[in-house]
Structure formats: structure tokens, C-alpha cells
Chains A and B, each alone.
Chain A
């Protein structure tokens, strides 16, 4: 207790002194912007232990699928005359769309929670004091959050695919087009052209001129839409009536993952930017169920390009044909009906990537510059 200032003498024998290289591995790892596996797993633990959040995730992903499929299986079991098999294509499309709608919302909720929980609980400053790069702290939340969301959506979608595969309805022998005109299935565009040439009367009924086409507006009476448009209608009908093929299911699964991933990353970025969990959640739910349906459905003069900047509009355009709304109306939640002319593929991809990058950069920047 009466020794001179210990700075001038070696530190006590039990531990490493500041000059000893034993700390070097720690120091080498600190400051690196990439999150470590431990950081990701503990962040995952932090999110996973939020009971309310996890219940909400289950309620909005797996529970609806289980409930609807279970009821449909039971109804079909007890009253097959009135209730078709649970694996019917329209059931598949309805539940997949429901999962997409709920998936985006819950992803936004989880993202906003991941972006704000350290701040709101007052732990952020203690994480910063560890010397860990703030960027690494931000990046660790991405795999941690997605590791909760993607499995939940995958389980829901996997159950749906299983039921669709094993409890499907008998496959029709033809694609039923307008006026219940049967058209042979699995045609490509050239084969459809040949079929229309060979069956002009049926083709005129199956593909009548003047029908309203989503995104293109009404076609002038008397004009026959091109074969490309007829083929698009044919494919849409085929997807609606036929059990989706495995590759189609995979495509839908990837689209669902993308939808959930966008919701999470935007929620994370917005949450980190504002530091307000509730505000971020409200804004993203509003975007999903109010703003996007309006922008996607109604062309606004001189603002078409602005409408296309909405990520929901881009995702609706990317929506697989098997999930297209029947009858052209909006899907559950209001989305799905693209009432504006579609944008080029590059523009669509740019909008999606732009939303992910911009919100991630904003969130990370705010986290790196925020007073802790």
C-alpha cells in the first residue's frame, strides 16, 4: 500500500503487464469491422430470448400456415365433397402470399428491434466501451436476425410445400382459360401460337380481345393482343391451376426469403437510424399495407418513376407467377396487384438493391457516429 507509483514498476506477478504481448491477439481482433462468430451468436441469443418477439414471429409465420392447412386438411377429411384437398394450387398461393405479407411485417418488427434494443436497454455504450468496432456491432445483427426469421419462414413454407406435394388435388388435363376453354398444358409460346392457329374459334374465346390486362390498361375493342400477352395470360392461368413444380416452389421460396430479408434490413437500418423501435415499426407497416398498395395500383401522372422507387412495387413485379392474384384484384394485405406499367428488370433490381444498401448504410453510419 505504501509502494511507489506502480506504473514505474512491473505489474504484480499474477497478470500480464501492459508491455507483455499476451494481449495482442485480443487487440488484433478488436477494431476489425467484421463481426466474430461469438458476437453473432450472442446477438442471436439476445434476440431469441425476447419472448414476446419470438411469439410474434411464430404467430405471424408458422401459426397461420399450420392453422389454415390443419383446418383445410380436417375439412377435406370430414367433408371432401365441399372442401377440396389442402394441397390445391389456390391454397398454396393464398398461404404463400399470406406468408409474404406477414413475413415482411414481422421482419420489419424484428429488424427494428435488433436495431434499437441495445440503445433502448442502455447497453450500447457498454458494447462500445469494449473497443469493438461499431460497424462490427451493426453487422453482427444481420445474420443474428436473419437466423431467426429465415428458419421460421422456411418452416412455414416447407410445410406448405409438403402438403401441396402430398395432398394435392388431381391435376387437370388442360389449362382452363376464359369461358372455360381448355388449352393443352405445358405449351411454350411457339406451341401456343400453333394451337391458336389451329383452333381459331376456341382461341378467340380463350383469349378475347379487349380484356383488361394488369399494368397495360384496357385494350381497345377489336384489337387482338399479341401472342406474347396471350402467352403471359396462359402461363398465369397454368400457374394458378396446376400444382407448382419443384423449381417453381424453389423460386417462390427464394422470393419469400428476399421479401423477409428486405423487411429485416430496412427495419434494422431504420431502427438504427432513428433509435425508435415503435416509430420504425409503424413506418414500415404503413409502407407495407398502405403506401405500397396505393403506389402499385394507381398510376399517378408525372410520378410513375417515383412510384417505381417503392421496394414493394419492385417486389410485386418480381412476385412469381404462381403467387399472382387471381382475378387481378389485390391480395391479402392489399399488395400484389400491379396497376402501373412494369419497369425494366434492371430498374427493378436496382430499386431492390438500392433499398437494401441505402438503409443499411444509413443505419451503420448512424450507429458509428451516434453518441453512446
Chain B
């Protein structure tokens, strides 16, 4: 602690000339410049490191994903989300595992498709208040960014044990709502709960039972997939560390778990994101745009995985702007526009209740048939079509009305060759709703 030193302190002089000179330089201010140069080198190294990381993010090897898809069904790693019942078993809650390598969703093409929505077995969704509380419940939830209201007085009820779509166009506030629910940003008003647990009051307790992907699944690119999961498992605590292997196997990443994430494609990162969600054996999964960046096969696999998760008794909340995907995957939806939830409920009910029912009738005398139906006043409108007439029934009409039309036509002596109910899709309904919104802002 001798703070005072004289400048006249004599030197130990072991030998003349060179070393002494070197020591003197080292002790002098001359090398001050050297430190500055070294500091610049350090900053240069930082810049290189950052650039390298960004290159790693940008380098997506989609062919790797393709190789995974090409692996025969039944093999342990790349067989798809539900590919290996045995390896996935520890994570399942007793629900029937999907057959190895076979599509679990009926009607879904194995390589993905763009065909019309295939028939999906209906999963009954009840909007009666559940005993353990809703999976997600918000009342008057509001989040503002300056003058922009991203989440506007949202009342949302998500039943348990279903796939729930949170549907809306880009910029509608879907991600903001999710971030608010998860405590990633603070709400400006309203109340909310997850799995019946109020948040943010008991946020950590609630989040221990929730898995989520927000916006885009991001990981440390310099770490392997497994190491990234180790990090997240350590943050979760408990048994999460033991679920790393099964989670990776379930999403089909077991064989690539030792690769750095920088080498993963977006689809692989999406799957790693789902694996990270499964670490906590969650009752509720919140997936924000999980289909983003996936090719058709990847979308099919994600769809299958979501269905399997719901079959295990979990609740999956799926935010998306892809109407077709939501209709294929979800049982109930909430439509959000400009931060406001404008409709919510089971998809079938919403379409049936809000949309009109259209019937295509192939008959002998289309003109007389149309006149007859108009005079009866039972249809919202009729129009002549190439092979008969198209009858639009009022919103909420039951199918019994179709039978009644048939009876009237036959009774009037008009031969009826066929009646076909034209089912409105979620997209049709969504567009009709948004159109009405546009007309009545």
C-alpha cells in the first residue's frame, strides 16, 4: 500500500544495454500506444466475431432438412415429430402415439400439399368455464406502444385440451399479445391468467407449466442444439435436463443434436424450438407462427406434432396469419384485427353461425325452381347456375332447410338430380368478417 514513490528510485541493473532498454520501454509511456493498438485488435476481433455469428445465422442449409425428410420412416432420428413412439414415450402423456412414419392427420398428404382443407376429425371444444381455469384467460388486456395500441382491450378465453388458433393479419398484435401473456413485456391494463394462475402476480409459477416459441426460435448459434437445450433446461430446473434426449428424438433432431445451431435450417430451428418447449413437460404450449419458413413437408410435420400434443391432453395456442393452416390444425380460433379480438369460438360454430349456407341444386327446370324458392321466402338469394341453381340460405340455417327445399321442389313436380352443400372455409368466413369490418369501421 505504498502509495508514494519517488521518481529517483534506483534500478536493479543485472546487465547493460538491451534488456535494460527493453524494460525501460516497457515501463515507460511508449507502450501506451501499444495498448491502444491492442485494444483496436480486440475490437477488431469483436467485429469479426459478430460478423461470423451473423454469417452463421444467414447460412441455412435447407438440404439438411431435406435429408432428414428422406430418411425412411421408423428410423429413430429423422422420422418426423411422431416418428418414433418408443423414443417419444417419456414425453407423452398417455395419448395414442402416432404410427411410425405415417401421417397422423387423416387426409394430409405425406409431402405436404396445397389442396383444399382436408377433413379433420372434429375435437369438441367447450367454452363452459373449466374447473381448473382456462388455459388462457384475459380481460381488458391492453398494451400500448406510444400512441399505437397493439393489444386493445382483449377478452380472450382459451379452453384446455384443444388447439386454439389466434388468427389475424400481419401487424394485428398477435405477437404482442403473446409477449404480454408471457411477461416478456408489461401490460398497460387488464388482467390475465395462464392455466388458472394469475400473471404477472405468479408469473414464474405459471410459466413453469408453459412452453413457448415467440416470434422466431432463436438459439446461440455457436452452441449445438443439445447444448442450447441444456442451457434452457438448466433455467427450467427440475427434471427438464432428463427430457433433453426425448425432446430431441420427438422432433426428429436426435441425430443432428451435436451440430451447431448455426448450421441448422429454419425448419430445424423451429423443431428445436418445439423441443425446447417440451423440456418443461408443459400443459400449455404457445407457438407464434410455427409454420414460418417451413416447406410443405415441414408444415405437415408441424401440424402432426401439434395434433399429437393436443391428443396428449396439452393445450396448444397457435398464432398465425395462415388461415388454411389454422383451419387444418385448430379446433377453435380467435380472430384479431388491429389489436382487438373480433370473434372467438369453435371453428365449425363460427363458420356455421356467422356465414351463410350455400346449396348447389341440380334440377330439371332451374328457372322455375328458383322462382319457387324465392316465392317461398326461405332463401336469402338464388341464382341460376350452369347445371341448376345456387341457393344461399340465411346465416344460422339448419340443414333441415335443405331437405325442406327438396320437398318443395319435388312437390312442385321439378325433378331434383342432386343437392350439394357448399361448405364455407375459414378463409371465406374470415374474409367476410373482415370485409364487414371494412364497411363498418
Contacts and interface: CB of A to CB of B under 8 A. Distances in A.
Interface stretch (B198-206, B397-405, B411-419): B198-206
A88 to B, nearest CB: 6
A364 interface: no
Given A15-B93, A131-B210, 16 more contacts: A5-B126, A13-B94, A15-B313, A23-B238, A102-B38, A105-B38, A106-B42, A123-B231, A126-B218, A211-B7, A214-B6, A240-B11, A277-B50, A317-B3, A326-B9, A329-B29
Most chain A Cβ neighbours within 10 Å, of B16, B47, B52, B93: B93
Interface of A: 1-8, 11-16, 18-19, 23, 25-27, 29-31, 36, 38-39, 41-43, 45-46, 49-53, 56, 60, 72, 75, 81-85, 88-91, 94, 98, 101-102, 105-106, 109, 117, 120-123, 125-133, 137, 169, 172, 176-178, 180, 208, 211-216, 229, 232-233, 235-237, 239-241, 277-278, 281-282, 285, 289, 293, 317-318, 320-321, 324-334, 338, 342, 345, 371-372
Contact of A333 (B7, B35, B230): B35
Contacts of A56: 42, 45
B27 A329 contact: yes
B1 interface: yes
Interface of B: 1-12, 14-19, 23, 26-29, 31-32, 34-36, 38-39, 42-43, 45-50, 52-53, 92-95, 121-126, 128, 130-132, 134-135, 159-162, 179, 182-186, 195-196, 203-212, 214-223, 227-228, 230-241, 276, 280-281, 283, 311-313
A151 to B, nearest CB: 20
B93 A14 contact: yes
Most chain A Cβ neighbours within 10 Å, of B3, B27, B95, B203: B3
A46 B220 contact: yes
A128 B184 contact: yes
Contacts of A289: 32, 35-36, 39
A329 B207 contact: no
Contacts of B125: 5
A293 to B, nearest CB: 7
A56 B9 CA distance: 35
A325 B235 contact: no
Contact of B5 (A126, A178, A180, A324): A324
B161 A5 contact: yes
A345 B123 CA distance: 74
Given A214-B6, A326-B27, A123 B219 contact: yes
A241 B134 CA distance: 77
Contacts of A325: 5, 27
A102 B39 CA distance: 9
Most chain A Cβ neighbours within 10 Å, of B131, B233, B283: B283
Contacts of A122: 216, 218-219
Contact of B159 (A7, A29, A52, A236): A7
B42 A46 contact: no
Nearest to B7: A328
Given A3-B124, A30-B205, A12 B312 contact: yes
Given A82-B16, A89-B12, A330-B28, A36 B237 contact: yes
Nearest to A317: B3
Given A7-B159, A126-B218, A281 B12 contact: no
